[in-house]
Amino acid sequence: MEQNSDYQCDVLIIGSGAAGLTLALQLADHAQVMVLSKGPLTEGSTYYAQGGIAAVFDKNDSIESHIEDTLIAGAGLCDLAAVQFTTQHAKDSLQWLIDIGVGFDRIDDEHFHLNREGGHSHRRILHAADATGRAVQTTLVEQARRHANIIILEHVNAVDLITNKHVGGQPRCYGAYILNRRTQQVETIAARFVALCTGGASKVYQYTSNPDVASGDGIAMAWRAGCPVVNMEFNQFHPTCLYHPNAQSFLLTEALRGEGALLRRPDGTRFMPDFHPSAELAPRDVVARAIDYEMKRLGADCMYLDISHKPASFIREHFPNIYERCLSLGIDISREPMPVVPAAHYTCGGVQTDLRARTAVQHLYAVGEVAYTGLHGANRMASNSLLECLVFARAAARDILAHIDQVELYPQLPRWDDSQVNDSDEEVIIQHNWHELRLFMWDYVGIVRTNKRLQRALRRIELLQQEIHEYYSHFKISNNLLELRNLVQVAELIVKCAMARKESRGLHYNLDYPELLPDAQPTILTPPQQPSR
C-alpha cells in the first residue's frame, strides 16, 4: 500500500472557533500548527454567541459565588474540581482576550460593563454589545492569520482520526483523514498531537440556534477512535429563539432577560413567576420547559419576550444587532414583544477529558463544546461556554508544549483507499435520512421525554445506521454523508444516555421518571472495539 502524508504538523486542530483558535495561538510560538475549518473561519457557534463570557471582575463578586452559581445550575452533576479550575482561571483567560484586542463594553477606562444572566447571582458577564462571539471570533481570526506558524485549511471535513487501528503502532492518535471539498479528495495529515475543537451536536434536532456546521463530528470521531463519552442526554434548549419564518433560528440572548425583558403568553400575561422564584432569570432548563409547557397547554405556536417597557434608546444601545434584525423582519422591539420558541442550543455532554483536556486516547485532546469536562453538569449556566473554551484551550496548550519534544511524527500513514467505491447518483437518500433523523429526535428526544419515545427513536436510529453504513461502504464520501454519519452516531449516544438515566435532572426530563435520584452520577458510555475503514 502506498504510504505517505499530504501534510505534517506538530499539532492538528480540528475546528476553528474560540477553542481551536485560542489553542492555536497559545501553541504557535513554539510549534507548527494546522487548523481545519469546515466552512469559512467565521462560520461557527462562537461567531453567533451573543451574550458574553462569565468571569469575576466586580469587587462585590467572588470566585466562590461563581462556583456556587455554576454548581446550582448544574443540578448536582458538576465536577467540583472542573468548576473550581475554570472559575479560578477565568479572569486570566479574559485578560488574554483583552490584551489581544477584544473590545468588551466599558463603563469607563477602569470598569467593564457587566451583564447579569440567568443563574448568576452577580453581574459578571463581559460582553461586546449583543455580539460578543463576533468580536471574539474576528479578533482570534485576525491574530491567527498573522502568525507564520499557523496554517489554516478552510472548507475541509475531518473524516476520521488515524489511530493504532490504522497503523498498528502504539495506542495513540497519529493524525486524521480529511476531505478537501475543493478537490473532493481525501487527504492525510500526520501530527504529533490532535485536538478536537469541533463544537456540539445541536444540528441533530429539527430546530436549533446553531449554525449548520454543528453536526457532532468530533464526538462521533472520538467515539469511533475509542473515547468514552459522558452525559450526552443533557441537551440544552435555549428558551428564546425568534419565531419567524425568515429568522433562521435567530437567537435572542439571555441578556435581554438580564436587563428586564419579560416572558408573556399571547394574551400578555406573565407566566415565569408561576414556575420559579427567579422568574425570567431562572436557569435555562426551567425557562425552556415553562415555555414548552405553556405552548402545549394553550396550543400556541410561540410565547413572547417583551422589553418594550424599556426606553428605546436603552434597547438600541444595549441590543443593536437584535434591534436591527427584528426591525428587518417587521418587529419593532421597542414597541412590541418578540415571538419566541425554544431551540436546541448546547451539548452539555461530550468526549470525556481531564483538566488538561486529554482524552482516553493518547495525544488526542478535546476542547470546548465537544468535550465533557464536568463543568456544566446537568445544565450549562449562561456564558460559561466560551469561558470553558478559553480556559481548557490554554490548559491543553501547556500540556502539549510540556511533552512536544517527546513525541515523534509517524511519517508513513496509510493513504485513504476509495478504490472500491463509486460516485453516488442518489444524494436524495442522504437528504431524506437527514430530515427524518432531525424530526424524530425533536419529537421523541426533545425537551420532555418518555421511555416509549426514546425506544421509538432508538429503533429508527438503528435502521438509519444500517442504511448509512451501506451507503458509506459503497459510495465516495461527501460533506452531507459525513455529517449524516456523525449525526446518527451522536443521536444513538444521546438516546442511550437518556435511556440509562432513570430520573429527571437538569436538562433531562422524563415523564416516566419525574423524580430526582438521591445520588447524582454521570452517564458514561464506553465504545466497543471496532474496526475502522
Total residues found in the chain within this entry: 533
Q: Which 8-state DSSP code applies to residue 129?
A: T
Could you give the CA distance from residue 111 to residue 114 in angstroms, rounded to a whole number? 9
Beta bridge partners of 179: 157, 186
| Whether 284 is catalytic | yes
Strands (E) in 370-409, as ranges, are 371-372
Beta bridge partners of 177: 160, 188
Please state, as a whole number, how many other Cβ atoms lie within 10 Å of the Cβ of residue 147.
15
Could you give the CA distance from residue 39 to residue 49 in angstroms, rounded to a whole number? 17
Question: Nearest-CA neighbor of 48 among 18, 13, 77, 91?
Answer: 18
Find the catalytic residue in 116, 172, 264, 284: 284
> Cell 491567527, residue?
144
Taken in order 160, 164, 169, 174, the sign of the CA dihedral is positive
Do residues 476 and 424 lie in contact, with contact meaning Cβ atoms separated by under 8 Å?
yes
Question: Nearest-CA neighbor of 478 among 425, 440, 517, 521?
Answer: 425
Residue 377: alpha-carbon gap to chain centroid = 14
Q: Which amino acid is at 75?
A: A
Q: Which three cell numbers stand for residue 63?
A: 470566585
Q: Which three cell numbers stand for residue 518?
A: 438521591
Could you give the CA distance from residue 117 to residue 124 in angstroms, rounded to a whole number? 9
Q: Which three cell numbers stand for residue 470?
A: 451501506
Backbone angles phi, psi at 293, to 5 degrees: -60, -50
Could you give the CA distance from residue 274 to residue 260 in angstroms, rounded to a whole number? 17
CA distances 81 to 88, 289, 373, Å, are: 10, 29, 10
Beta bridge partners of 4: none
Transcribe 28-67 into DSSP letters: TTTS-EEEEESS-TT-SHHHH--S-EE---STT--HHHHH
Question: Nearest-CA neighbor of 132 among 383, 348, 324?
Answer: 383
> Cell 431551540, residue?
343
Q: Which 8-state DSSP code applies to residue 478?
A: -
Q: 530 burial class (0-12, 13-18, 19+ CB within 10 angstroms)?
A: exposed
Q: Catalytic positions, please?
A: 284
